[in-house]
Amino acid sequence: MAFDFRDHYFHKAKKDNYLARAVYKLEEIQKKYRILRTGGRVLDLGAAPGSWIQLTEKITGPSGLVVGIDLKPIEKGFPRHVVTLQGDIFDRDFVEAGLRDYLPFDVALSDMAPSTSGVKVADSARSALLFERAFEIALEALKPGGTFLAKIFQGTEFHELLAEVKKRFQQTRVVKPEASRKQSREIYILALNLKH
Ligand SMILES: C[S@@+](CC[C@H](N)C(=O)[O-])C[C@H]1O[C@@H](n2cnc3c(N)ncnc32)[C@H](O)[C@@H]1O
């Protein structure tokens, strides 16, 4: 029998009207670290289909702002304090022009993941490139004191990238949420308080 990926969180997302089970990873991190606040300005990289936006915009409320970017279209309609942009985060002109009017942000999130090939080394290298680019964007887009949360697949690049993040933020945590599948090598680096 084929493995059923539709687990508890999949069904819960359907019931709670969330677009993806991924929301429970952010929800768990939010419960523990309170990174999202009313009135906050949040950048969400790799935002499609949009479950992190759903949770984030509820917390920031209309006095805040959420900007979501993805290669894929984000089809769900959101309230006016949410802006969605379709494009590639490696396209520097697109990112610069897209974010110019919304800077700076309090929080930069990245749940970006590459299309996986099944070859561990190749997949973790691609994930590391996405992480590195998200980190670069976060450094340009965040206010001093800002927060960065990003996914990375554990692999050879992980410790070096974590060390780079540590240089720029006052505190870092490595988080594996309950809602992250045990067999997945994804993990999140949470970095608090961007140094001046
Ligand atoms: C796991 S999904 C994100 C789920 C999202 N957090 C949610 O809650 O709905 C990862 C996303 O990263 C996006 N992505 C991967 N590479 C990207 C790139 N180069 N630029 C923009 N988005 C990218 C994919 O298109 C995919 O939608």
Domains in the chain: boundaries: 23-194
Q: Which fold is adopted by the domain 23-194? A: Rossmann fold (3.40.50)
Q: Where does the chain show beta strands of DSSP type E?
A: 41-45, 65-70, 82-86, 105-110, 142-153, 169-175, 186-194
C-alpha distance from residue 168 to each of 39, 47, 70 (Å): 25, 24, 25
State residue 2's pLDDT score. Answer: 47
Q: What CA dihedral angle connects 141, 21, 72 and 70, to 10 degrees?
A: 0
Predicted confidence at residue 55, as pLDDT, reads 98
pLDDT digits (tens, 9 = 90+) for 100-152: 999 999 999 999 999 988 888 999 999 999 999 999 999 999 999 999 999 99
Q: Please confirm, yes or no, whether 151 is among the known catalytic residues.
A: yes
111 in contact with ligand 1, CB cutoff 6 A = yes
pTM here is: 0.96
pLDDT at 134: 98
Low-confidence ranges of the chain (pLDDT < 70): 1-5
Ligand 1 centroid – CA 63 distance (Å):
26
